[in-house]
Amino acid sequence: MTDRLPLPASVDTPQTIVVTGVMAAGKSTVSQLLAERFTRAVHLRGDEFRRVVVRGRVDLSPHGDLEAERQLALRHRLAAHTANIYVDAGFTVVVQDLFVGTTLEPFLAQLTEPVSLVMLAPDVSTVMRRESERTKTGYGDLWSIRDFDLKVRTETPKIGLWLDSSQQTPDETVDEILHRLAEARIR
């Protein structure tokens, strides 16, 4: 954790900050660093609710699958419920997950106020580079980075703070999020 000036009390209050974006946008790194800036904070990784399913898990694909969509909605419901419990206990919760297209607003509607949304939106070439440098892969044979990026940009509601983090370090991205948190506030 880096030494930083304390956040103003108006920012360092219990709240939910949703961080989303395409795979390899930097959600995990940025969310962790962002949570570390608050006095009492939780970094809630929505994907953990997917990983705990031992048998019967159906992952999303570009072809659509009703069971995969049902499981995604369940994962989002669990993440929202968990975030609300932490906020009610006095924590700032940074929720990190994929909220694309029509899945975003139903998730946001489940959260206790105040709620902010940050869409990490680096350009495609940056995502391609980051994906090639990661040990885990998100795209594989099913998803094209260009197609998934286009889906996010065209089907996801333009609410909150959309941030092109292509030329930023993770710390610079967090600094900008904190500086522009009022723009990210959706309710």
Q: Which of 47, 108, 112 is nearest to 86 (CA)?
A: 112
Express each pLDDT in 35-84 by its tens digit.
999 999 999 998 899 899 999 888 877 777 899 899 999 999 999 999 99
Express each pLDDT in 150-171 by its tens digit.
888 899 999 999 999 999 999 9
Q: 132: pLDDT confidence band, cut at 50, 70 and 90?
A: confident
Tokens, residue 172: 């610079």
Q: What is the pTM of this model?
A: 0.89
d(CA 27, CA 21): 7
**Phi, psi of 37, deg, nearest 5:** -80, -15
Q: Is 157 helix (H, G, I), strand (E, B) or coil?
A: coil
Angle 97-56-82 from CA coordinates, rounded to 5°: 35
CA distances from 88 to 44, 77, 124 (A): 15, 16, 38
Domains of the chain, start order: 16-184 (3.40.50.300)
d(CA 138, CA 110): 27
Q: Which of 48, 21, 7 is nearest to 170 (CA)?
A: 21
Q: Is 137 helix (H, G, I), strand (E, B) or coil?
A: coil
Express each pLDDT in 96-111 by its tens digit.
998 988 899 999 999 9
Check pLDDT > 90 for residue 12: no
Which DSSP category does 117 fall into? E
Q: What is the mean pLDDT of the chain?
A: 89
d(CA 78, CA 13): 23
Strand partners, 20: 119
